[in-house]
Chains A and B, each alone.
Chain A
Amino acid sequence: MELLLVSGIGGSGVSSVARGLARGFRDAGLSTAEVNSAVSAPVESSSLWSDAVDTFGAWLQGLGAASMSADELVGLGGLNELITGGLVAEAVANPNIDVVIWDMGSTREALRILQLLDTVPMLLDRLLTGPAAAQLSAPEPAALIAAWYRLVNHVVAARDDIRAATCVLVGEPRDALELVAVAGGLRLYDCVTSAVVLNKVEEFDSSASKKMSKSSRQVAQEAALIDQEFGIPVVRLPFRNIRAPKVSKTATRLRPLCKLLRDLPTNSSPGWSVSAVKKGYSFTFPLYRGADVRVGRRGDSLLLVCDGHRRQLELPAVLKRCLITGGGMKGTSLVLGFAPDPKVWRDTP
């Protein structure tokens, strides 16, 4: 594992868990870097920031807008997240860092960043190669294009790192159903959830009471639900009445999880798969049971929309020459049927 994404339900202790895991890895002797999406301080001191300012500034000028200063770009939606992604990619590529922990904040924020990192490289590429690029004005066009490509490369690296990353989701016991949906939604971006941390769980002392309390029963049921859907470990943190538990305490509780995550292999294969069936091919994309899914096709591209989040996917070569015959959610996965397009397939002898 090189990159660990930590996200969860807002207010459930996502950052506490991220800090606890970082401490746990450091205690185990691993060089660990922490990046927090909510903290923008390092972003503006990065060379990527000046690349972004140069390229966006030139774009605005090319479009006839007045030039902008770096300060004016600070609040531009998505730019901070893109640069943060670039910084994460730099940290992952750094041979002196063993583990990079990206605290992505709430799941809503995480999904937004993942969608952004998935869409922007394609968009930047189109802008650079499209007719409007001829309008770019800069004292040194070559330097501008180099800055642009550095930016695109970092965003692409961040996107690819995320696809190979391990993810830990954090929530309270009552959030289990939502966590299942989020874990499924993250799969849209090939991001696999490897563990769930249920925070603020009521401690159950079996020696003190023979009867489980209602909330303890609920925790057990919710944990079973997550386990049933994903077959992944669920860690419970008993900090119900503590507003800000000490990092060392959290790290101690998370030590077994750190060990488990450390030993996990890097996720190298995409989440989806293609298999040959009787009359063509079957395309399977794992999401989650009950996902609200829409599918569109444009030429060789497939557009998957899951609970409002979009991913554009280039079809594997064999499916480019096929027509979609139908499909839908089957259990926890989206399954699409493809049949050879008679217009482009040669007749078999």
Chain B
Amino acid sequence: MSEKPPWWFSGDDSASKGFDLGGLASGAQQMIEWARDSLLTNHQSHTDPAEHQQCVLCRAMQLFQQSTPEPTPADEVAFEWIELDPPKDA
């Protein structure tokens, strides 16, 4: 009795019984090429990420910068209160 392909399988099962690693690698390669052509090429001319909100890489860079802020020195956070003398006449 031949084993039925699972419900999610829509490809040709003659080449391999397991995952088609060759196909995955090919897909990944295509994604890299797409990213290089459509994202990196345009992004190369973006000097200030803040000016290119439509660019995915610029937005990602900004989000990354926001999530890892420079550590703020403790004395910058709060005011240090000064102990004042009691009022005196001039």
- Residues B79 and A134 in contact, CB atoms below 8 Å apart: no
Q: Is the CB of A331 within 8 A of B88?
A: yes
Could you say which of A137, A296, A329 contacts B81, with CB atoms under 8 Å apart? A296
Residue of A nearest to B84 (CB): A328
Instruction: Report whether over half of chain B's contact residues are helix, strand or loop; otherwise say mixed.
Output: mixed
Interface positions, chain A 291-346, Cβ under 8 Å from B, are 293-299, 301, 303, 324, 326-333, 336
Q: Which residues of B42-56 are within 8 A (CB) of A?
A: 49-50, 53
A294 to chain B, nearest CB (A): 7
- Closest B residue, CB atoms, query A137: B53
B-side interface size class: 20 to 34
Cβ of B89 within 8 Å of any chain A Cβ, yes or no, is: yes
**B20 part of interface (Cβ distance < 8 Å):** no
Which A residues lie within 8 Å of B37 (CB)?
none
A177 → chain B, closest Cβ, in Å?
17
Instruction: Report the Cα distance A324→B62, complex, angstroms.
Output: 39
Interfacial chain A residues near B81, Cβ < 8 Å: 294-296
- Interface presence of B18 (CB below 8 A): no
A131 touching B69 by the CB < 8 A rule?
yes
Name the A residues within 8 Å of B76 (CB-CB). Answer: 298-299
Cβ of B87 and Cβ of A298 under 8 Å apart? no
A297 in contact with B84 given A134-B50, A134-B62, A331-B90 (CB within 8 Å): no
Are B88 and A296 in contact, CB atoms less than 8 angstroms apart?
Answer: no
Complex CA–CA separation, A328 to B88 (angstroms): 8
How far apart sit A240 and B65, CA to CA, in the bound complex (Å)? Answer: 66
* Interface hub of B62, B66, B82, B86 (most chain A Cβ within 10 A): B82
B78 at the interface (CB under 8 A from A): yes
Contacts of A289 in B (CB 8 A): 87
Alpha-carbon separation in the docked complex, A140 to B65 (Å): 24
A residues 62-77 touching B (CB-CB < 8 Å) = none
**Residue pair A131, B62 in contact (C-beta under 8 Å):** yes
Give residues 12-40 of B contacting A (CB, 8 Å): none
Interface residues of A in 89-132 (CB under 8 A from B): 131
A residues near B (Cβ < 8 Å) are 131, 133-134, 137, 141, 289-290, 293-299, 301, 303, 324, 326-333, 336
Seed contacts A290-B87, A297-B82, A298-B79; 11 additional CB < 8 Å A-B pairs: A131-B62, A131-B65, A133-B50, A134-B62, A296-B80, A301-B79, A324-B82, A328-B87, A329-B88, A332-B90, A333-B90
